[in-house]
Amino acid sequence: NAGVTQTPKFRVLKTGQSMTLLCAQDMNHEYMYWYRQDPGMGLRLIHYSVGEGTTAKGEVPDGYNVSRLKKQNFLLGLESAAPSQTSVYFCASRITGTTGELFFGEGSRLTVL
Amino acid sequence: QKEVEQDPGPLSVPEGAIVSLNCTYSNSAFQYFMWYRQYSRKGPELLMYTYSSGNKEDGRFTAQVDKSSKYISLFIRDSQPSDSATYLCAMGSPSGTYKYIFGTGTRLKVLA
């Protein structure tokens, strides 16, 4: 049972390049989330999804897009990367309802030069 | 003012010490309170979960929630070097927004 898997784990981009981070979960969870973690800022929610085909903006959505075409996958896209998007990105998932344990992936470290 | 405030540390303690980690919050709608532990270069993992006010104990860990003061705590007894990690508090409300708000995390180092 892999849980939440993120790919790639590391990536270096130049300003203006695009890329997609993939999150896959094998727990049949409805809810999925993308966070970024920066020193002194904690975990900040970028986008989230409460089910296949649905997405919503979180706290810091600008510069990112997401898609949830399949229940088990949640993609985070950067169309034109900026140095301010240098961060560690975490994907998480949980069961349906107002509360429940968040299961996190191991993170994707992105550097934008 | 942030919804959730947490001292970033770092906090260094000798092995065997009692550790107290704390968060304050401003949103009175929060009902679910969690503590996540994050080891270096890993994802956070749930350590403790508490609903509403009161205490919850699990082995060496005790979580306390004081809703009247909007203050939550995590106590670690007989701390071990393996407890060295960043501890993040997280909170949620039953409003149906499906989101948790995280503190910035406190870095803890337990010295052998």
**pLDDT, tens digit (0-9, with 9 covering 90-100), for A28-75:** 999 999 999 998 888 999 999 999 999 999 999 999 999 999 999 999
- Nearest Cα of chain B lies from the Cα of A17 at a distance, in angstroms, of 25
pLDDT digits (tens, 9 = 90+) for B84-104: 999 999 998 877 567 889 999
Q: Tell me, yes or no, if B51 comes closer than 8 A to chain A by beta carbon.
A: yes
Please tell me the predicted confidence (pLDDT) of residue A1.
62
Give dist(CA A92, CA A76) in Å, integer: 12
Q: Which amino acid is at A74?
A: F
Asked if residue A45 lies in contact with residue A90, where contact means CB atoms within 8 angstroms, the answer is no
Side-by-side strand order, sheet with A65-67: A4-7, A19-25, A73-78, A65-67
Distance from CA of A62 to the nearest CA of B (A): 18
Residue to mutate among A9, A43, A45, A87, with most B CBs inside 10 A, is: A43
The reply to whether A38 touches chain B by the CB within 8 Å rule is: no
A vs B: CB pairs below 8 A: 55
Q: Could you tell me which of A81, A50, A83 has the C-alpha nearest to residue A65?
A: A81
A42–B44 CB contact, under 8 Å: no
From residue A91, alpha-carbon distances to A74, A75, A113, B73, B90 in Å are 8, 9, 23, 26, 16
